[in-house]
Amino acid sequence: MFTGIITHIGKVKSAERSDQGMRLVMAVDFPLDDVELGASINHAGCCLTVVAKGEGTYDLDVSNETLALTNLSEWRVGTRVNLERALKIGDELGGHIVSGHVDGVAKLIQVVRDGESYRLTFEAPSPLHRFIAPKGSVALDGISLTVNEVEGRTFGVNIIPHTWAHTTLSQTEVGGHVNLEVDRLARYAARWFETE
């Protein structure tokens, strides 16, 4: 489990595709002494498992399922990636509960400056748009955000200067894709109404 509060930015050092998926090597600037093999780290919204470690690097195996549902297939050497270590008992819950299970990708369709902040509008794929509500939560590339407004399949979020400066959202171009995880409570509530 994660909170959607990004703590580090990593870089893709290598990305090798095969029939089984992809092997990623991530370069990071934090100590790996307490990162065990098998540890879960959130990578731009995707919970991935550390399978090997090097000097300032670790390896990840990415399945074809993950490549099909996320933007990881677009990652190349040098791609910057939002990172968050797994939540520990007693950690501050600064965002919202994020599982690291990406539901799909959202497309950035507009960026508007609003004072020192930025207002971003995204288009969600159907049927995921049904789980996004005003003042609800979403995770975009692993970042916990509050939804400002919703209209059909589009929704808007406000990005404060700190988030703009310390995550990869500022590098996402209009037309680009971000990993989307909808709020778990919204998904379960919708499922409950479907079965009634």
**DSSP codes joined into one string, 162-195:** HHHHHSSGGGPPTT-EEEEEE-HHHHHHHHHHHH
Confidence of residue 185 (pLDDT cuts 50, 70, 90): low
Question: In the beta sheet, which residues pair with residue 46?
Answer: 43
Q: How confident is the model at residue 88 (pLDDT cuts 50, 70, 90)?
A: confident
Report pLDDT digits (tens) over 40-51. Answer: 999 999 999 999
The string of pLDDT tens digits covering residues 99-152 is 899 999 999 999 999 999 999 999 999 999 989 999 999 999 999 999 999 999
Confidence band of 186 (pLDDT split at 50, 70, 90): low
For each of the domains in the chain, give its residue range(s) and CATH number, in order of start.
8-85 (2.40.30.20), 104-195 (2.40.30.20)
Q: Which element (helix H / strand E) includes 69?
A: helix 64-69
Chain centre to alpha carbon of residue 110:
19
- For the entire predicted model, the pTM comes to 0.91
Can you tell me the mean pLDDT for 12-29?
96
pLDDT of residue 96: 83
Confidence (pLDDT) at 94: 75
For the segment 148-174, what is each residue's pLDDT rounded down to a tens digit?
999 999 999 999 999 999 999 999 999
